[in-house]
Amino acid sequence: MVASRLKEVRRRMAAAADRVGRDPSAVTLVAVSKTAGPAEITQAYDAGQRDFGENRAGELTAKAAVLPADIRWHFVGTLQSRKAKEIAPTATVVHSVDRQSLLRAWSRTGGSAQLLLQLNLAGEVQKHGADATAAGEILTLAESLGLSISGLMLMPPQVDDPESNRAWFRELRRIRDQLRPDWPALVELSMGMTDDYEVAIEEGATLIRVGRAIFEQ
């Protein structure tokens, strides 16, 4: 069942990309495996999936220890500064850098993960993410620490209609494009989950984070 659900997600990804004239291969599917055990992750791996996401440091390191070494692990949850060292040897991408203290903590780990700056465009108090007005300061600090932030990440408001989030995805792309002249490495857009990844792809997502549509019935 995991393989068939994964195939359906990939089909819908390709269709969304085709609708706006994008190359489907320009979008990376991160299979968020926080609800899945090693057996289910292996089913997705056997079906060709290589990028998996976890939102807890302990889960990421525990699963990585027993699963194939060529898996690319994405940390997609809120990262505490004290946990940065724990995931540094394993994480390929950290989607949730959102404050200067976390950048400083990461710089001490020696980790080589790709870093994304998480923004909270809607200003939701229950969600993490930097204000867009702080992006320049965080990016400048990253440079001074010898770190490169390669894109932006967004968790928009939870809505019933995926179309309601189109404006948020479009705004994240606009901010990325506005910042790129000063920070040309800022390429990635991590946005879109199970309920709205097709809209996110239409608006330029390069990374989508899909869990429930793959691992849950």
* Residues contacting residue 107 through CB under 8 Å, at least 6 positions apart: 145, 146, 147
CATH number at residue 70: 3.20.20.10
Phi and psi dihedrals of 123, rounded to 5? Answer: 65, 30
The count of domains in the chain is: 1
Q: Is the confidence at residue 61, as pLDDT, over 80?
A: yes
Q: What is the model's pLDDT at position 105?
A: 97
Q: What is the model's pLDDT at position 141?
A: 98
Report strand pairing: 114-119 vs 51-54.
unpaired
Q: List the one residue out of 136, 82, 146, 79 whose CA is nearest residue 110.
A: 146
Q: What is the model's pLDDT at position 157?
A: 85
* 83-101 pLDDT tens trace: 999 999 999 999 999 999 9
pTM of the model: 0.96
Q: Average pLDDT, whole number, for the chain? A: 96
Q: What is the model's pLDDT at position 99?
A: 96
Lowest mean pLDDT among 123-127, 148-152, 166-170: 123-127
Q: Is the confidence at residue 158, as pLDDT, over 60?
A: yes
Phi and psi dihedrals of 62, rounded to 5? Answer: -65, -45
Q: What is the model's pLDDT at position 122?
A: 78
Give me the percent of the chain exceeding a pLDDT of 90: 93
Q: Is the confidence at residue 217, as pLDDT, over 60?
A: no
* Tokens (6 digits) for 100: 């200067």
**CA 170/CA 213 separation, integer angstroms:** 23
* Mean pLDDT across 150-162: 92
**CA 216/CA 210 separation, integer angstroms:** 11
Nearest-5° angle of CA 207, CA 213, CA 191? 25
Torsion of CA 129, 132, 136, 140, to 10 degrees: 0
Domain span holding position 64: 2-215
